[in-house]
Amino acid sequence: MKGQHGQRLKIGVLALQGAVVEHCRMLESLGVIVVEVRLPEHLKLLDGLIIPGGESTSMGLIAERWGLIEPLRSWVQSGRPTWGICAGMILLAERIEDQKQGGQPSIGGMDIEVNRNYFGRQINSFETMLNIADFYESEKPYQAVFIRAPIITEVSDGVKILASLMNGLEGKLIVAARQKLIMVTAFHPELTGDLRWHQLFLNMVHESHAT
């Protein structure tokens, strides 16, 4: 898959915690160059960045320790293509409910509010089918894996909802959204064999080159 200068796309995966290897494998299968991002200089010359799942407070603290918080904020604020998964979604949210005492380091950049541990403990992890036909040509539902997942509790007018779950008591729970070139998902596409969300992110990267 080629970038704006005819070279292969180069996608970074923030490699502080979480399912980094799984993301790398899926991206490589789509023909892109993958860079594991651990230091600020690793952000240079990337076409897009994935912030994977993990534990959001720990990821924020590690990023602070390695001098990555401000470079990551600059990356997002400059409008570069970014995808946050689960903990990554929490880190990209402007407002976070149910934070640990004392708060947590975050990146921000997406005008959403999230509940950081809506679905509870690891034992409450689950899989379910999502309808993604509204924005994907294929009408085949997507099998989503949720692990101690957050949800989006509030969005601004500029945020497009991509996927929701139905909850009998609370109605629709927002689990995927996009604002300009930032995308977030509460579930873990890297834990399935379905490449559609990774391909959707790469489509966003190509959009950034066309503007």
Active site residues: 86, 188, 190
Q: Give me the helix-helix angle, 69-77 and 56-65, nearest 10°.
A: 110
Rounded Cα distance between 12 and 50, Å, is 6
Rounded Cα distance between 107 and 182, Å, is 12
Which of 105, 40, 76 minimizes the C-alpha distance to 183?
A: 76
CA distances to 69, 76, 113 from 64, rounded to whole Å, are 5, 16, 22
Q: Quick one: DSSP state of residue 47?
A: S
DSSP string, 92-152: HEEEEESPPTT-------EEEEEETTTT-SGGG-EEEEE--TTTSS----EEEEESS--EE
